[in-house]
Amino acid sequence: MKNILIISGHTDMDDSVANKTIMSILEEKLPECRTVYLDRLYTHKPIDVATEQQNLIWADTIVLQFPVFWFSMPSLMHRWMEEVFLHGFSHGSAGDKLKGKTMVLSYTTGAPADCMNWDDFFHFLRGACQFTGMSYGGTVHTGSVSYNLRQDPQQLAEITQRAAAHAEKLIALLQA
């Protein structure tokens, strides 16, 4: 079985519906995977670079799980990447620790999935894969899960359902 590392980039999981649902289903159905909640560990705190690098070395597949904030990943996840993917670790003449691994993108948006080509915004992550010798393993995206919609109980139930379907799709991709 592949070692799967799931990095949760949500900045406040206590205030999440979609990402919280996705993460809890992943933890239940893939108990052997390793999860890192960046908000719990690193909000206003320094990143433990050595531990994060060890997690990456352990992993065969790295899943970036995040809500889209301003057409990108949350700043906390960017900070994690900037501080952990270091010259000599992930790139540079001696930096080959990510080589041969696979990166999977898993994200949610408030806007509907079909209102634009969301993958265009994440070309930089595919560039990062190429630069570090990782393969891009595909994307799972679910739209229409805005925090604005949560006040209505029916919308809330639909968001939870969509997030559960997202988790199942991601699991199928990871097990393929």
Ligand X SMILES: Cc1cc2nc3c(=O)[nH]c(=O)nc-3n(C[C@H](O)[C@H](O)[C@H](O)COP(=O)(O)O)c2cc1C
Query: CB of 159: closest distance to ligand X in angstroms?
Result: 7
Determine the size of the site formed for ligand X (CB under 6 A): 18
Among 8, 61, 65, 108, the residue binding ligand X under the rule CB under 6 A is 108
Q: Does 10 bind ligand X (CB under 6 A)?
A: yes
Q: Which is nearer to ligand X, 3 or 72 (CB)?
A: 72
Q: Which is nearer to ligand X, 70 or 154 (CB)?
A: 70
Q: What would the x/- binding string for ligand X be over residues 142 to 161, using CB under 6 A? A: ---xxx--------------
Among 4, 7, 18, 62, the residue binding ligand X under the rule CB under 6 A is 18
**Cα–Cα distance, 165 to 142 (Å, whole number):** 9
Query: CB of 54: closest distance to ligand X in angstroms?
Result: 27
Query: CB of 96: closest distance to ligand X in angstroms?
Result: 34
